[in-house]
Amino acid sequence: MVCPSNLTTATAFLLYLAILLNLVSAHNFSELFQCNWAPDHFVDEGDQIKLTLDTASGSGFGSKRKYLFGKASVQIKLVEGDSAGTVTAFYMSSDGPNHDELDFEFLGNLSSEPYLVQTNVYVNGTGNREQRHTLWFDPTIDFHTYTLLWNHYYIMFLVDGVPLRVFANKEEATSVLYPKNQAMGIYGSLWNADDWATQGGMVKTNWSYSPFVSTFQSFKVDACEFSPENGTVIGKCSKVSQYRWDKSAMNGLSKHKEEQLRRVRENHLVYDYCEDTVRFPEPPKECLN
């Protein structure tokens, strides 16, 4: 056994570096999450977890704790080949009928047809705020990073660091509610949604390709942990707005991010509820500037 006093400066430095690196590296899945649906369809491989779907069941996981504001990201490699009818989700949600929820839903498709990414925001139990985008890569070949950033100013959905969508807090200017009071858990799941997911439900899941598998890795949570015991955030977040993602400087996007968002919208947006005059003859208030 090495006595601490025998550590050379170099070794001590390396240890210090390791601790530092560990702070910014991904979390161990079981440290923060657990399977919460169909353990027999869930595979924990340490660094990666696999959700599987067959005729018997899909599968899912959830965080052990809840968070009030923060940033959560994960890398996902989606169901490959014929994934029509399947939906892989990465989302945050609070509990109860008037819940808040932030969704990434990856809608599968026939082999070589594009996935769609559907995003949605629920506030106080009301969603109906879908946007759909195509991706600029094949999400089944490699892992890509999907991030939910939730601060006092906006909710941002990012793909490999590029903003796909921003839902701004317009609560003061309008009567549109913004999620801010309910702590949310962080979740992932894979399930059968062939009644609506692919080409509006026209293409059904072809079970001869099951089990379908989505793989998740590199879980990163930089968020304000909420204590259910006393109803307050704990740790670093107990000091208001001390997190870099919640500083007032974050009130608005950088020029670069604005430009990225504009280009994604121009090239990849295929559906926006704000422009769906059949569903909403009067545009929803948050869609007006």
Ligand X SMILES: *[C@@H]1O[C@H](CO)[C@@H](O)[C@H](O)[C@H]1NC(C)=O
Interface with ligand X, residue 30, by CB under 6 A: yes
Q: Which of residues 45-74 bind ligand X (CB under 6 A)?
A: 46
Q: Which of 287, 257, 236 is nearest to 69 (CA)?
A: 236
Nearer to ligand X, 34 or 248 (CB): 34
Is 266 an active-site residue?
no
Cα dist. 181→40, 69, 233 in Å? 35, 9, 11
> CA 148 to CA 277: how far, in whole Å?
28
Cα dist. 239→56, 153, 178 in Å? 47, 17, 21
The answer to whether residues 27 and 219 touch, using CB atoms and an 8 Å cutoff, is yes
Which residue of 5, 23, 142, 229 would you call a contact of ligand X, by CB under 6 A?
Answer: 229
Which residue of 36, 124, 210, 218 would you call a contact of ligand X, by CB under 6 A?
Answer: 124
Contact flags string 98-117 toward ligand X, x per CB under 6 A = x--------x-x---xx-x-
Catalytic-role residue among 31, 45, 80, 101 = 101
Nearer to ligand X, 124 or 145 (CB): 124
Interface with ligand X, residue 12, by CB under 6 A: no
DSSP three-state, residue 24: helix
Q: Which of 140, 132, 102, 137 is nearest to 116 (CA)?
A: 132
Q: Which residues contact ligand X by CB under 6 A?
A: 28, 30-31, 46, 98, 107, 109, 113-114, 116, 124-125, 177, 197-199, 206, 208, 227, 229-230, 232, 234
Task: List the catalytic residues.
Answer: 101, 105
